[in-house]
Amino acid sequence: MDFFEIKPDIFLNIMTENQTLANLSAGILQNMEKILSKVSPDILIVQGDTTTAFLTALAAYYKKIKICHIEAGLRTYNKFNPFPEEINRQLTSRIADFNFAPTEKSKKNLITEGIDSATIFLTGNTIVDALNWGIEKIKSRQTEIEGKEIFKKVSGSGNERVILVTMHRRESFGEELKNVCIALKKLAEENKSIKIIYPVHLNPNVKKPVYSLLSGLYNIILLEPLCYEDFLWLMYKSYMIITDSGGVQEEAPSLKKPVLVIRKFTERPESVKAGISKLIGTGTGTIIKEVTLLLNNEDEYKKMIAVSNPYGDGRAAEKIINIIANEYKCSIIIK
């Protein structure tokens, strides 16, 4: 929020360590009911597929408040991959009055599901807007960012190829996470010229096995979760990215970084189809094979460099604002 200069008016403060989805859902719904009653908005805008997005939309639906869903129509059609996000976004689509689809594929998904086409608008994804704005900001502050204490342990001789890793999805807890860690360890041991940077999620189901399996290797750097600015800097500096994040799959093309997606399904097939990301699962052998290919084969690496970003042109927010303003025959003032 500091990076984007956002000052929230309301803070729910409902997060607790290792909480269940049921407890989280109840807290969001009950708190948002009170807030919506007090604020009484004409429109509620939610973005993405989180439990917060869905439950906030549901609270608005109960009060017959218009709902705008940004990033609508992403699908895997496997209700447990990603979990619980796949069902969150499907349910949000059923109650949204405006569905802002990031891609043509997302738009087609909504139409196929019987969502009124009059409520669907192709806008691109606001994540590309945010990324473009963010990259310009960090370029102007690059020396300051690189001087941060956290990156002194990241920087080395300057010749290492940096592999950035993130993994946090609930459906990967347990054996799949362990398999990925084993692959990373073997890659680090067999490739002394790489440096693996892994900002580790605080969930104990992630943090405990990752630190247990990957601590102590000089070319694997385990970090606390990073702010957006620092994470952008790492993406910008990386050679390739290994991730189960949906957002990173959309950010990486703008940064010209190949992405290996450690999931069985992705709701963002556009980059896979374009050949700029690859869905490789969580098998130890497959991860080692695919990373080694990109490290050793320059032609294969270059094939995965994006020419353009399939998820938007950086003007999604502008399009969304204009659609809402046109619908309500009003002007929107941005403060």
What domains appear along the chain, each with residue ranges and CATH number? 21-125+313-328 (3.40.50.2000), 129-303 (3.40.50.2000)
Question: What are the backbone angles phi and psi of residue 166, rounded to the nearest 5°?
Answer: -135, 145
pLDDT, one tens digit per residue, over 24-37 is: 999 999 999 999 99
Average pLDDT over residues 52-60: 97
Local structure of residue 44 (DSSP, 8 states): E
The amino acid sitting at 331 is: S
Identify the active-site residue in 69, 75, 85, 270.
85
Q: From residue 44, how far is each of 52, 62, 119, 224, 306 by CA, in Å? A: 13, 12, 15, 33, 34
Q: Which of 33, 97, 161, 170 is catalytic?
A: 170
Mean pLDDT of 116-143: 91
**Is 170 among the catalytic positions?**
yes
Q: 85 an active-site residue?
A: yes
Helix (H, G, I), strand (E, B) or coil at 175: helix
Which region, left, alpha or beta, applies to residue 243 given φ > 0 means left and ψ of -120 to 50 means alpha? beta
Please identify which of the residues 97, 146, 161, 201 carries the catalytic annotation. Answer: 201
220 contacts 185 by C-beta, under 8 angstroms: yes
Query: 85-95 vs 51-62: helix axis angle to the nearest 10?
Result: 30
pLDDT digits (tens, 9 = 90+) for 141-155: 878 887 887 776 676
Question: Residues in the chain, how many?
Answer: 335
């073997």: which residue's tokens? Answer: 186
Residue 84: asked if its preceding bond is cis (omega within 30°), the reply is: yes
How many percent of the chain have pLDDT more than 70? 97
Higher pLDDT, 81 or 69: 69
Spot the catalytic one: 71, 129, 230, 267.
71
Catalytic residue among 69, 75, 168, 263: 168
The yes-or-no answer on residue 49 being catalytic is yes
The verdict on whether 71 is a catalytic residue reads yes
pLDDT given at position 157: 57
